[in-house]
């Protein structure tokens, strides 16, 4: 039988976040907006629990990153149209927040979170994934995963 310690070390990979207690302990790189990122994810977990669209990535039992994704129709971050006229908003999702603990950045966790989400969204019939980069410096991160800049800080990837 696993002890609590064994179980903690056994927790690896990505899973839905149904509690927000660990998230507030994540620390970040210097983009500011710490509370903006955390509160978005926390709010979603509070409101929707297992349907929050929030997922955590764990390493050795520790939460090292989190992502939350929502439907385009529930959140309008756009001051311009979706980019291509024929896009159906129902087929679009938005990365609401993504954050990796600064002690764990550049190890691929952020990319893993996004690829995991993309796989789930494709199964749900989604075709486009958007993100609002809160910082210009994040463009290379999104570009490496195949996003392109639509305008300003909005990036998009065709996922299906």
Ligand X SMILES: CC(C)(COP(=O)(O)OP(=O)(O)OC[C@H]1O[C@@H](n2cnc3c(N)ncnc32)[C@H](O)[C@@H]1OP(=O)(O)O)[C@@H](O)C(=O)NCCC(=O)NCCS
Residues that bind ligand X (CB under 6 A): 28-29, 31, 37, 97-100, 105-111, 133-135, 137-138, 140-141, 144
Contact 93, 82 (CB under 8 A): no
- Taking the complex as a whole, the smallest distance from the CB of residue 36 to ligand X amounts, in Å, to 8
Is 12 or 135 the residue whose CB approaches ligand X more closely? 135
User: Phi first, then psi: what are they for 126, rounded to 5°?
Assistant: -80, 150
Is 14 or 99 the residue whose CB approaches ligand X more closely? 99
Structure-block tokens of residue 24: 């507030």
Is 8 or 115 the residue whose CB approaches ligand X more closely? 115
Sheet strands side by side (includes 92-100): 13-16, 54-59, 62-71, 92-100, 128-132, 154-158, 148-151
Strands 13-16 and 54-59: antiparallel
- Taking the complex as a whole, the smallest distance from the CB of residue 110 to ligand X amounts, in Å, to 2
Structure-block tokens of residue 13: 């990979």
Is 40 or 88 the residue whose CB approaches ligand X more closely? 40
């Amino acid at each position: 039988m696993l002890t609590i310690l064994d179980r903690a070390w056994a927790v690896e990979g990505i899973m839905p976040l149904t509690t927000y207690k660990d998230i507030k302990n994540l620390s970040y790189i210097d983009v500011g907006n710490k509370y903006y990122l955390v509160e978005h994810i926390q709010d979603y977990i509070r409101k929707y629990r297992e349907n929050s669209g929030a997922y955590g990535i764990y390493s050795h039992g520790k939460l090292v990153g989190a992502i939350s994704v929502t439907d385009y129709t529930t959140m309008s971050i756009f001051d311009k149209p979706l980019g291509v006229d024929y896009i159906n908003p129902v087929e679009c999702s938005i990365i609401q927040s993504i954050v990796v603990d600064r002690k764990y950045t550049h190890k691929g966790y952020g990319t893993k979170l996004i690829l995991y989400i993309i796989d789930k969204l494709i199964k749900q019939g989604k075709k486009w994934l958007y993100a609002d980069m809160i910082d210009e410096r994040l463009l290379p991160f999104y570009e490496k995963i195949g996003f392109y800049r639509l305008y300003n800080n909005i990036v998009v990837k065709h996922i299906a």
